A and B are shown apart, each in its own frame.
Chain A
């Protein structure tokens, strides 16, 4: 939809800013509720994520000894800022992106990675052994899924010959949806999204039974709340990107709602089906299976584009004439 929001309103209130934070909480609730229903139990009530955030903000923030204090306090804020900034370039809630320029696809993806870098730095900052291991795993996972995820999102970009998210959004709706035209790319993008958000089965950096809470072990109170909110915002933006590229773009808020919720349903199902993968299994899987699949997909796209001027008249003459 083409509604022009004044930039300040978009940044602070709607569709970015406060509304985005609130919708991140709603998406987290839906995700937890779906996973619970898959496991034959009730799950939390609608205000649970909000209650978690309020409770965490009310608790004391303990700063352990041996950390660089400015980094400790500042890293969660930087992570959340990066996530909120990347929201300005994606078609949030079905409205067109507030800012757009050629190449903003790359910028958005890197802004989303800033969050993982912040997690890695936050874990390396402390003396706690669990945080160090969690930070190492987070950065290892970043190196392994980043390439296939980016390439999978490039599939529609190459097919539409543009690097601009707004144009990809507009172009994805016309013609065949990319989920049917590029199924392998869709699978890689979905799994890459789960790796980026550290959802099970790729939650090795935050494995509860092995390293307590990974990089977040020493965080409490306000810092932890800001990291949690940052993760939820990233969930929304990641789903928006994958849905807008592969499920035919967004024309209106209703369109946005059902497409992202469908993807969230699939994500929740995938979360409850598998055991946790070890970090070396994650890296092995990505660098062997993931990259090969997505490269195969790209080769098919490029070959298809070059052969299209030759094949199309042939097909038309066969069936049309």
Chain B
């Protein structure tokens, strides 16, 4: 039966620096395995769409520019992604990986949450088409 059994703890705490991390002035190091923003490499993609089928939250879409020549553009909705990395697992060619950025998901506008991946000319082609007024069906 002791009274004040945590006395050692509180006494030592007076001489130690507080453990609280002073975010946002001090940010912790990100571990290398962090499941952050998706990165897609268009070179190896064959357009099998397995990643789209397996995504639990419809966060990625593959827009076809030219199916025969394998030109695709991926539209990635960061606000829908749950960062589960199932797409990384489903892709048989290793086109997708998760980087370790974008773990602070706060923004005042909606635009940063929709990212286009692909070769530059494909993206330009797609944006020109949508500007001309052709509607794309949203996912």
Residues of A participating in the B interface, judged by any CB pair closer than 8 Å? 36-43, 269, 272-274
Contact = CB atoms under 8 A, between A and B. Distances in A.
B4 A41 contact: no
Contact of B18 (A41, A269, A273, A274): A41
Contacts of A38: 10, 13-14
B10 A272 contact: yes
Given A272-B6, A273-B6, 5 more contacts: A38-B14, A40-B9, A40-B18, A41-B18, A274-B4
Contacts of B22: 42
A39 B4 contact: no
Interface string B1-30: 001101101100110101110100000000
13 contacts: A37-B14, A37-B18, A38-B10, A38-B13, A38-B14, A39-B10, A40-B16, A41-B18, A42-B18, A42-B20, A273-B6, A274-B3, A274-B4
Q: Which size bracket describes the interface of B in this complex? A: 10 to 19
Name the residue in B6, B10, B19 with the highest tally of chain A Cβ atoms < 10 Å from its Cβ. B10
A173 to B, nearest CB: 30
A120 B3 CA distance: 31
Interface in B9-64: 9-10, 13-14, 16, 18-20, 22
Contact of A273 (B10, B13, B16, B20): B10
B13 A37 contact: yes
A43 B9 CA distance: 17
A145 B6 CA distance: 26
A40 B19 contact: yes
A41 B20 contact: yes
A179 B12 CA distance: 27
Contacts of A42: 18, 20, 22
